């Protein structure tokens, strides 16, 4: 399965009980209670937003990406020099030699270049594990500021490069959100899929992979029923990729992501569109974002959650 969550792994915060639509009442006590709930809800959402930002701008966050290079040959010299087969935008001119053989990968550092593998110094040729492994390998160099990993997508392998001083990270302009409202935390029903069911999920590179789906999530809005097909999250949670009428008109044109809690025993859950967030490809050209499946393009405007990211203007 695609590793959506290292894509973007944000923990679900526990929501207070009784969240729903704002109570409208002439009773001053009821209005006061509703106002307190709104304040609590906004505060909890703000904590989530702060966590979201912290993970995005972390040294190994999505903003640190500086390259995505397809592995096409059995041997590639890697470095920032002009003669490198895989040319990095940052780092030493000659980093080392990457070799591949039927899905197995090995790296030999250039003499005199300090390289680490998962934090330990590399003295010679080492084997590398891709992101499909339980323990993906991380090559570090440039005093630990730069890292390389190997990822697999749609039957192809790529070298992914990160650097703490990536332009996208240094020039990050911040995140913008629609106003937080409990009206966009909606009750939903989980409908399980048949055992072994999959969805064809396309990514931003044009690749399509059949991906396991646990089922779909249905909710109502203004008397109309909408359904979102779900992917597997962690610990029974659900991962939703969707587009709506705000896509390209306030929110990111390719769609947004939403983490949803595991359904209860009765199949009920709440989905909070205030926590809808942009995929990594909204911030960098070096991501491999999965896109909304056909059924997840809603004929509904959802003015909640994260808005389109506007990068800094380069001079």
When mean pLDDT is compared across 22-36, 166-180, 243-257, 285-299, the lowest value belongs to 22-36
Domain boundary, last residue among 163, 193, 208? 163
The answer, yes or no, to whether residue 211 has pLDDT greater than 60, is yes
Whether 78 is in a domain gets the answer yes
Amino acid 29: pLDDT: 81
Q: Are 54 and 79 part of one and the same domain?
A: no
Q: Are 87 and 37 part of one and the same domain?
A: no
Query: Into how many domains does the chain fold?
Result: 2
pLDDT, the chain, mean: 92
Q: Are 83 and 140 part of one and the same domain?
A: yes
Whether 178 is in a domain gets the answer yes
The answer, yes or no, to whether residue 267 has pLDDT greater than 50, is yes
CA distance 13 to 256: 19
Q: What is the pLDDT of residues 107-137, one digit of tens each?
A: 999 999 999 999 999 999 999 999 999 999 9
CA distance 221 to 271: 12
CA distance 206 to 196: 24
The residue with greater pLDDT, 31 or 169, is 169
CA distance 146 to 286: 15
Contact, 144 vs 116, CB < 8 A?
yes
The answer, yes or no, to whether residue 1 has pLDDT greater than 70, is no
Q: What is the mean pLDDT of residues 132-152?
A: 96
Residues spanned by the domain of 235: 4-59+173-296
Q: Are 149 and 181 part of one and the same domain?
A: no
| Polymer length in residues for the chain | 315
The model's pTM:
0.88
Amino acid 313: pLDDT: 78
Whether 306 is in a domain gets the answer no
Q: What is the pLDDT of residues 51-98, one digit of tens each?
A: 999 999 999 999 999 999 999 999 999 999 999 999 999 999 999 999
Share of the chain above pLDDT 90, in %: 86
The answer, yes or no, to whether residue 257 has pLDDT greater than 70, is yes
């Amino acid at each position: 399965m695609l590793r959506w969550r290292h894509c973007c792994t944000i923990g679900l915060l526990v929501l207070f009980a009784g969240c729903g639509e704002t109570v409208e009442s002439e009773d001053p006590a009821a209005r006061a209670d509703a106002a307190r709930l709104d304040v609590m809800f906004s505060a909890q959402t703000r904590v989530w937003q702060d966590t979201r930002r912290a993970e995005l701008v972390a040294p190994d966050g999505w903003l640190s990406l500086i390259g995505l290079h397809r592995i096409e040959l059995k041997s590639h010299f890697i470095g920032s020099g002009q003669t490198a087969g895989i040319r990095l935008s940052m780092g030493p001119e000659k980093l080392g030699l990457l070799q591949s053989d039927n899905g197995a990968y090995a790296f030999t550092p250039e003499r005199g270049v300090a390289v680490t593998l998962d934090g330990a110094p590399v003295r010679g040729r080492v084997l590398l594990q891709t992101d499909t492994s339980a323990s993906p390998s991380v090559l570090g160099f440039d005093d630990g500021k730069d890292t390389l990993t190997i990822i697999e997508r749609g039957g192809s392998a790529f070298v992914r490069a990160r650097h703490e001083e990536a332009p996208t990270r240094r020039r990050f302009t911040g995140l913008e959100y629609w106003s937080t409202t409990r009206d966009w935390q909606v009750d939903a029903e989980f409908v399980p899929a048949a055992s072994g069911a999959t969805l064809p999920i396309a990514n931003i590179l044009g690749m399509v992979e059949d991906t396991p789906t646990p089922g779909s999530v249905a909710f109502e809005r203004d008397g109309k029923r909408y359904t979102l097909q779900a992917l597997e999250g962690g610990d029974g949670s659900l991962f939703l990729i969707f587009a709506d009428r705000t896509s390209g008109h306030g929110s990111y044109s390719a769609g947004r992501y939403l983490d949803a809690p595991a359904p209860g025993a009765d199949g009920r859950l709440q989905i909070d569109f205030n926590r809808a967030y942009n995929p990594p490809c909204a911030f960098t050209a070096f991501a491999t974002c999965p896109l909304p499946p056909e059924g997840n393009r809603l004929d509904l405007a959802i003015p909640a959650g994260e808005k389109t990211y506007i990068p800094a203007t380069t001079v």
